[in-house]
Amino acid sequence: MGKRIIVTGGSGKAGQHVIAYLLDKGHDVLNLDLMPLSGELASRVHTMRVDLTDSGQVYSAFTSHFHLTEPFREPLGLLPDAVIHLAGYSRNMIAPDNETFRGNALSTFNVIDAASRLNIKKIITASSITVYGVSYAEGDVEYPSFPVDEDTDANPMDTYAISKVCGERVARGFARRFGSDIYVLRIGRVVAPEEYKEAMFDDYVKNPAAWAPHGWSYIDTRDLGQICDLAVHKDGLGFQIFNAVNDEITNYTTSTTEFLKRVSPNVPFTREMGPRDAPVSNKKIKELLGFHQNHPWQMYYERK
């Protein structure tokens, strides 16, 4: 049975694919964003323009109708079954550091606070693998250990990742306070279908030693949609953090372990890894949510 789901940031690269997947699974979706949806999705999902750093707007939007009709047909007072919070600055230097922190931390607080006080018991919020402190470090920094799992120390030095760590702490506290399920997705480098043919993914494959900042890992936007759907349906886990990445390393090595020993010889291993496992581990999300990737990069990549 489909759920009523609010998605924030649904007009972005990841959000559009998440919404498309949710619609295909029979869910009813309202998009909260400063930008409209485009293309076919715009005719299927209403976008409400909301500043998520304004708590009043967030509360009002969460109690809104999902569909604009004349007259309104939905019963008044229906609340969402789940909120998926994807909105926010997606990296450093889109805005100055203080605005990046304010926008990301405050919007995440407002979304979780409003959902919790309205007794919405399922909240999924986007974090990032940048919290592991390598992606935007000042200079070259190595991961503490391999594989990088959810217990790896999150100790970033950049504003974007620090804002994500703050959001994770808000999620943990509110899950404890309200007894809700709040699942944090530490999302890897987001790859849309058309990007497998672009220069960056080609460089992943041809110049792998340079891509430690992305953890030699990625998430296909369509598989991210699957993860969000699985999270909506999986109840009773309380507060959880999941690495949201696909299964395999982003190059043609036949041994992830040997590759990592070559490029990061001083980094220890905490357990054995499969021959082509991604260095950022998705073991937990497969075990607890039942994630099974449908879009491995080798299906789409065309070597230049």
pTM of the model: 0.97
5 in Cβ contact with 122 (< 8 Å): no
What are the tokens at 257?
A: 């372990």
Helices (H) and strands (E) in the chain, counts: 8, 9
| 304 residues of the chain, pLDDT tens digit each | 899 999 999 999 999 999 999 999 999 999 999 999 999 999 999 999 999 999 999 999 999 999 999 999 999 889 999 999 999 999 999 999 999 999 999 999 999 999 999 999 999 999 999 999 999 999 999 999 999 999 999 999 999 999 999 999 999 999 999 999 999 999 999 999 999 999 889 999 999 999 999 999 999 999 999 999 999 999 999 999 999 999 999 999 999 999 999 999 999 999 999 999 999 999 999 999 999 999 999 999 977 6
Q: Which residues pair with 269 in a beta bridge?
A: 146
Query: Fold for domain 4-194+218-249+279-296?
Result: Rossmann fold (3.40.50)
The residues spanned by each domain of the chain are 4-194+218-249+279-296
Q: Quick one: DSSP state of residue 53? A: T
Q: Which residues pair with 182 in a beta bridge?
A: 123, 239
